[in-house]
Amino acid sequence: MQKTALSVEEIRQDFPILKRKVGVGGSKTLVYLDNAATTQKPYAVINAMNEYYSNYNANIHRAVHQLGEEATFAYEQTREKVAKFINARSTDEIIFTRNATEAINLVAYSWGRRNIKRADTIVLTEMEHHSNIVPWQILSREKKSKICYLGVDDQGYLKMRDYERALEKEAVRLVSVSEMSNVLGTILPLKEIITRAHEDNVPVFVDAAQSVPHLPVDVQRTDCDFLAFSAHKMLGPTGVGVLYVKKEILEEMPPFIGGGDMIKEVHQQNVIYNDLPYRFEGGTQNIAGVVGFSAALDYLAAIGMDRVRNHELDLTRYALSALSDLKDVIIYGPKNFRDRGGVISFNIADIHPHDLATIMNEHGIAIRSGHHCAQVLMERLDVAATSRASFYIYNTQEEIDLFADALLDARRIFRI
C-alpha cells in the first residue's frame, strides 16, 4: 500500500465479499454502506482464523503442550497490539469481552454496583446507543439513582451548557458518552468532557464503538477512565470486544463472571482470583476471534488511522454534497463534515426508511434503516426511523454516485 495516499482499489482487492453480485437477479456489484453496523473482513483476517483452527487450535493459559503455547502467544500478542493501538499504559488494562455491549455491562455490574449509590446521578446524552443506556437504567433502578440526559441541539451538537449545569447541580458519580454518534456522526469534544468531569473527581466511560475504527484514539491523551469497542466494526470478527480500564480502577473491581481461568486457587469455601486482566476473562474465550482481530489491527495499522480518517472525511464531504443536491432530503447531524464521522442519517420526503432500504437493495446497495438502537435520539428528532449510509476504507466516490442515482430512482417510484 502507498504510504502517502490510501489506495482504495488496492484495498478492495483484499475483501472477497466486495466481488459479490446482489440486487435484482444478482446483477449488481455489492455497494456496502452499512459499516456503522459491521464492517467486511479482508483475506488477512479470514486466513488468520483459518490458520488457527487448522494448525494450532488449543485452549489458552492452561496447557504446556506446543499447540496450547502457540495459541496463548497469539492471544496475548493481540492484547499487546490493542494496548498499542489505543495507547494504553499496560496490557493489564485490556480485557477481552464478547463485544462493546458486554464491556459496558461488565463495568455497570462490577464497578457500578460498588460505587453508584442512592440519589447519585449518571450522566448520558440523548445520542447514546441502547448499549450505553440500558445497563445504566438497570443499575439505576437497582440503586435508586438517577440518569440525566444531556441534550442535542438542532444541528446535532451536544449542549455543553447542559453538561455544566448537571455537574453543578447534580450528585454526578459517572459520565458515560459515545465519542461518535452512530446516527448523527457527531464527534463529541471528548477531551473537554473528561477534563471537566475530572475537576469534580467524576470518572468517564467512553463508548468508542464508532470512534476507534475510524479515528486515532489515545486513552492517555483523553485520560478516559473506561473505554469500550468491538472488533467487528473495524475489520475483525464478531464475538470479540475490548474493555479498557485504568489499572488503578480495575484493581478495585470485583470479577464479572466466575469460572475457569479467572482464578488462581479454588477451595471448598474460598477462592483467590487471578491477576489482572485475567480475573475478568472467565471461561474459554473466543480465541479464534481474537487471533482474527490481531490481523485486523495489523491491517489498519499498516494503513494508518490518520489516513483512514482522511479518506472518510473525503467520502463524507462528497456524500453530504450529493444528498444536499436532492429535493426533500433531511440530513441529521452537523453540516460541517469535519465535525462528524463517516455516518449520514437522512429521510427523503415521505418514503419510509424500510421502503427506501428495499429499493436500495434492488440496486445492490446495502444501507441501514430503522431507529439504529437509538430510540432516545429518535424521540428527540421526532422521527420513528431514518435511513443511514456509513462508509469505510473500501468505499469510493463512485459508490456514492450509484447511491445518489438509486435515491433518484426511489423518488421516481414514489412519484416525488
User: CATH number for the domain including 266?
Assistant: 3.40.640.10
Residues in the chain: 416
Count the Cβ atoms, other than its own, within 10 Å of residue 141: 10
Residue 5: predicted pLDDT: 67
CATH of the domain at 337: 3.90.1150.10
* CB within 8 Å of 3: residues ≥ 6 apart: none
Report residue 296: phi and psi, to 5°.
-65, -40
Runs of H (alpha helix) within 208-352: 219-222, 247-250, 287-303, 305-324
Report residue 174: phi and psi, to 5°.
-155, 140
What is the span of the domain harbouring residue 353?
8-32+304-413
Q: Is the domain of 21 the same as that of 62?
A: no
pLDDT digits (tens, 9 = 90+) for 291-339: 999 999 999 999 999 999 999 999 999 999 999 999 899 999 999 999 9
Determine, yes or no, domain membership for 38.
Answer: no
Residue 1: predicted pLDDT: 38
Among 241, 276, 301, residue at a domain's last position: 301
Residue 4: predicted pLDDT: 57
Residues of the chain with pLDDT under 50: 1-3
Which positions are catalytic? 373
In 166-260, at which residue ranges do the beta strands (DSSP E only) sit?
172-178, 204-207, 226-230, 241-245
78, 52 Cβ separation under 8 angstroms: no
Our measurement of the distance from residue 399's CA atom to the centroid of its chain's CA atoms, rounded to an integer in Å, reads 23
The grid coordinates of residue 85 equal 493501538
48, 292 Cβ separation under 8 angstroms: yes
Count the Cβ atoms, other than its own, within 10 Å of residue 358: 12
Residue 23: predicted pLDDT: 85
The grid coordinates of residue 296 equal 485486523
Q: How many domains does the chain have?
A: 2
Q: Is the domain of 180 the same as that of 54?
A: yes
| Rounded-to-integer distance, Cα 312 and Cα 177, Å | 22
Residue 6: predicted pLDDT: 80
